[in-house]
A and B are shown apart, each in its own frame.
Chain A
Amino acid sequence: MTSMLRLVDVSKSFVLHNQGGIVLRVLDRLSLEVRAQECVALVGPSGIGKSTILRIAHGNYAPDSGRVIVAADGRATDIAAAPPRRILALRRDTLGHVSQFLRVIPRVPSIEVVAEAARDAGATPAEARARAEAMLARVGIPERLWPLSPTTFSGGEQQRINIARVFVVPYPVLLLDEPTASLDAENRRIVVGLVREARLRGAAILGIFHDPEAREAVATSEIDCTAVLRAA
Chain B
Amino acid sequence: MTDLPLLTATSLSYAYGRRMACQDVDLEIWPGEVVAIVGESGSGKSTLLGCLSGRLRPDRGHVAYRDRDGAVLDVWAEPEARRRLLMRTDWGMVHQNPRDGLRLRVSAGGNVGERLMAVGARHYGDIRQAAQAWLERVEIDPARVDDLPLAFSGGMQQRLQIARVLVSNPRLVFMDEPTGGLDVSVQARLLDLIRGLSRDLGLSALVVTHDLAVARLLAHRIVVMRGGGIVEHGLTDRVLDDPHHPYTQLLVSSVLPA
A contacts, CB < 8 Å to B: 14-18, 55, 59-62, 84-85, 87-89, 103-108, 120
Contacts and interface: CB of A to CB of B under 8 A. Distances in A.
Interface in B174-224: 184-185, 188-189, 191-192, 195, 199, 216-217, 220-221
Nearest to B193: A105
Contacts of A18: 246, 249-250, 253
Nearest to B250: A18
Please report whether the interface of chain B is mostly helix, strand, loop or mixed according to DSSP.
helix
Interface in B205-258: 216-217, 220-221, 234-235, 237-238, 241-242, 244-246, 249-250, 253
A8 B250 CA distance: 31
Contact of A105 (B188, B220, B238): B188
B242 A85 contact: no
B191 A88 contact: no
Interface of B: 1, 30, 33, 184-185, 188-189, 191-192, 195, 199, 216-217, 220-221, 234-235, 237-238, 241-242, 244-246, 249-250, 253
Given A18-B249, A104-B217, A107-B188, 5 more contacts: A60-B241, A61-B242, A105-B188, A105-B192, A106-B185
Nearest to B33: A85
B191 to A, nearest CB: 5
Contacts of B192: 105, 107-108
A107 B221 contact: no
Nearest to B191: A105
Nearest to A119: B199
Contacts of A106: 184-185, 188
Contacts of A60: 235, 237-238, 241-242
Nearest to B253: A18
Question: 5 tightest CB-CB pairs across the interface, nearest first?
Answer: A17-B246, A84-B235, A106-B188, A61-B242, A107-B188
B249 A85 contact: no
B217 A107 contact: no
B217 A88 contact: no
Given A55-B241, A61-B242, A107 B1 contact: no
A105 B249 contact: no
Contact of A89 (B1, B188, B253): B1
Nearest to A17: B246
A62 B191 contact: no
A85 B30 contact: yes
Given A18-B246, A85-B1, A105-B217, A59 B238 contact: yes
